[in-house]
Amino acid sequence: MSIRDRSAAGEGEGVLAWTRPLVLGDSEAPHAVVAPDGDVLVAATYREPLDLGGGSLPFNHVSRAPHLLVARFSSEGTLRWAHGLTPEADSARAHVGGLAVDGEGNAWLGGVSPGFAQGAVKIPPGAFLARLSPQGALERVRNFDGTGALTVNALAPDGTGGVVLVGDFQGQRDFGDGVRESPQGQRSAFAVSLDASGQTRWSRTWAAENEGLVTARAVAVDVFGGVHVAGAYAGSVCFGGPTLVTVRQRTPFVLKLSSDGEHAWSRDLRGTEGTANALAVGPDRVFVGGNFSGRFYFRGKPHSSSGYQGFVAVFDAQGKERWARSFAATTTALATDDAGQLTLAGSHDGGLDLGGGDVPAGLYVARLHPEDGASLWVRSFTSPSPTLARTVAVDSSGYTVAAGALARALPEGTPYPRPRDGFLLLLRP
């Protein structure tokens, strides 16, 4: 596995400080977040024996289900610890849907478990939320009883020691404050606020009227406790304000809830087809990123694409449109820093038009000015195989951490599809 910096050589903003490979062999890319002390926490699934430098992690050679990795690196890239959780089921689904860290350094992990075990502590099969100590020990595990599929897509710390969890579900589900039901055969979105002990404060669900779908893909909480959710919908949906309607298969949306879960505002990119994949909040700014095709208007300016390409749309805290950019690349991850600047990551097929020059296809990381979207710096990385950016985070010193994966070719007959290997990158301020 290899990834190479193809940006301008020399010192400067966004220069690569270090990279770490994560040879996972799974189809999903790793998630990474920055702890209050600057350490980097990583969560991923893996299907092959794995050693990150601290010794071989537990591996069940009999089971075909993915294993669960949680690791912590120093800001210099040195491994502090790594824990592997083995699956108890043979071929059940496993998924890491989100990773967050609270002010005490505890890691919150959400996803779907086939029945993971860490010693005597277990994560039962099904959708889960778990809290781990700063040393990676499982402390609390929460499940959501019900029928039908449930997928956790993102987590965000709420600033009080708790987290907000978003995703989508079908059937019936008890999020801790009553049973919620999705219309038969439809996918509905949910948001759940939980306190530091993992108990539900409130939950909200949104379903399309008649036929359609709603999926929540990203979540961010501002300094006042406002909860922002982004994703996509089809048909017509009411998030609490005016009903949003689209004739597209999927249209991006973003909404804001109060800290108590009450609707504040909701917006969509009317007329286009696509999904909002990422969210970040800054001082009086809500940054939404995703991919689209077709055309949408933002502050009266058209943004058009004949095929899928990336966008960033920016609102103020009251939901008023500020600025938007669209470009020939995907947008899969966003983050803000203490200065309010926006960092984004994704992949491109060449001809990246974010100001980074003519570079070969691959992964990019860029920093934009929060007031007008002007590019401050752009870094591009190439690989012999297709790349995927999963998450991006910025620490208190301005260093940028990006996590993603590279596709890997395996011999015919491999028992798991679309194998990828993960990586971490640290870029200088």
The pLDDT assigned to 38 comes to 94
Q: Is residue 32 part of a domain?
A: no
The pLDDT assigned to 9 comes to 42
Q: What is the pTM of this model?
A: 0.95
The CATH number of the domain where 83 resides is what?
2.120.10
The pLDDT assigned to 428 comes to 92
Digit-coded pLDDT (tens) for 95-126: 999 999 999 999 999 999 999 988 888 999 99
Range of the domain at 142: 39-340
96 pairs with which residues across the strands? 111
CB 328, CB 352: distance < 8 Å: yes
Query: Which residues, 6+ apart, have CB-to-CB distance to 167 below 8 Å?
Result: 97, 110, 127, 150, 151, 152, 153, 154, 189, 190, 215, 216
Assign 3-class secondary structure to 316-355.
Answer: CCCCCEEEEEEECCCCCEEEECCCCCEEEEEEECCCCCCC
Digit-coded pLDDT (tens) for 166-221: 999 999 999 999 999 999 889 999 999 999 999 999 999 999 998 899 999 999 99
The pLDDT assigned to 10 comes to 43
Q: Is residue 365 part of a domain?
A: no
Q: Is residue 388 part of a domain?
A: no
Kindly state the tokens that stand for 14: 């966004």
The pLDDT assigned to 393 comes to 97
Tens digit of pLDDT at every position of the chain (429 positions): 456 665 544 456 889 999 999 988 888 899 999 999 999 999 999 998 999 999 999 999 888 889 999 999 999 999 999 999 999 877 778 899 999 999 999 999 999 999 998 888 899 999 999 999 999 999 999 999 999 999 999 999 999 999 999 999 999 999 999 999 999 889 999 999 999 999 999 999 999 998 899 999 999 999 999 999 999 999 999 999 999 999 999 999 999 999 999 999 999 999 999 999 999 999 999 999 999 999 999 999 999 988 889 999 999 999 999 999 999 999 999 999 988 999 999 999 887 888 866 778 889 999 999 999 999 999 989 887 888 999 999 999 999 999 999 988 665 555 667 788 999 999 998
Quote the number of domains for the chain: 1
The pLDDT assigned to 1 comes to 45
Q: Is residue 131 part of a domain?
A: yes
Q: Is residue 73 part of a domain?
A: yes
Q: Is residue 401 part of a domain?
A: no
Q: Is residue 426 part of a domain?
A: no
Kindly state the tokens that stand for 151: 């997928």
Q: Is residue 1 part of a domain?
A: no
